[in-house]
Structure 1
């Protein structure tokens, strides 16, 4: 046991939806006291950094209800139970943007908000990008947007690009470009 570990005393599911489950846990703290933790359980997700032959980053504009606004972000999606993350990434890229990839390269996996959620996001880079068929899910309304890296950073500064997966991918891409100069 880690000297910082919080031991679960009891756990109650307080909400179960299509995407998340919310639990309220009572935990024993390292100092012997107890506290509660609100936890969001998520099946995990993927995101894809795709750059066209013309050097444009493929993004989607989507309304995000928790933010009450439209934002630009990388194509992404939730993993289905037992689904291979790379297969999910290929599917999401085509569904949301109409682009296909010949292959994927795993860039990084990270927890999106480990203070309260266990969502693990797998970020991939698409290789051999070509146009396919645009087929968003029935309840998903997205517009494809293609930007240069410079334009994407301008959109980050304006707040239009503001989610962690997209910001992370843009900095990875910028670092790669700077190291090849």
Structure 2
């Protein structure tokens, strides 16, 4: 592993810019490796999960929902933020059930991704789910989500045309492709009884 000490910035001062119910904005003053100072503004995020749900026929459970900051509907894998003290697998199972109605018999953790490291602390754990059974959804207040099964090939075609733009979904699709090719292993675990 490389010695990164010449890249490390040292915190000097921190001030909150915004305290929201979900996100916070922060401004820090740091000392650079050269000795100069700089400011860093970023969003503090509680963490999230994303689920790649695989149906028995190989299709994937996808969601379409309106994303206010972009003012458009996006196609995405199910995802959501972690509640305080909640572990990632519990969050993944909760979000999958709430948003899609599906429950999984088996789970596998793929990775952690940082989709906006330059300005956000958000870490998204990527999970795979299979052995799905459909039940009732329990959407949060204000959530409006269409659920649809899609083949990976359909998603890859959308990605190739630049029509699938959600970063976490693109990472999930990459993981799925590499796992199916035998290149990136997943360690499946059954749901505890």
Same fold (TM over 0.5): yes
| Counterpart mapping for 1:61-140 below 5 A | 61-140=64-143
Report what 1:33 is aligned to.
36
Q: CA deviation at 1:178?
A: 3.1
Q: CA deviation at 1:152?
A: 0.9
Using the size of structure 1 for normalisation, the TM-score is: 0.94
Give the gaps of 5 or more residues in structure 2: 184-193
Q: CA deviation at 1:138?
A: 1.4
Select the residue among 34, 55, 59 that pairs with 2:58: 55
Using the size of structure 2 for normalisation, the TM-score is: 0.88
Structure 1 consecutive aligned stretches of length 4 or more whose deviation exceeds 6 Å: none
CA distance in 1, matches of 2:181, 2:27: 45
Q: CA deviation at 1:165?
A: 1.3
Distance 1:15 1:28, change over 3 A: same
Give the gaps of 5 or more residues in structure 1: none
Report what 1:11 is aligned to.
14
CA distance in 2, matches of 1:20, 1:98: 27
The size of the alignment, in residue pairs, is: 180
Q: CA deviation at 1:159?
A: 3.6
Comparing 154-163 with 77-86, greater Cα deviation is found at 154-163
Aligned partner of residue 48 in structure 1, secondary structure: strand
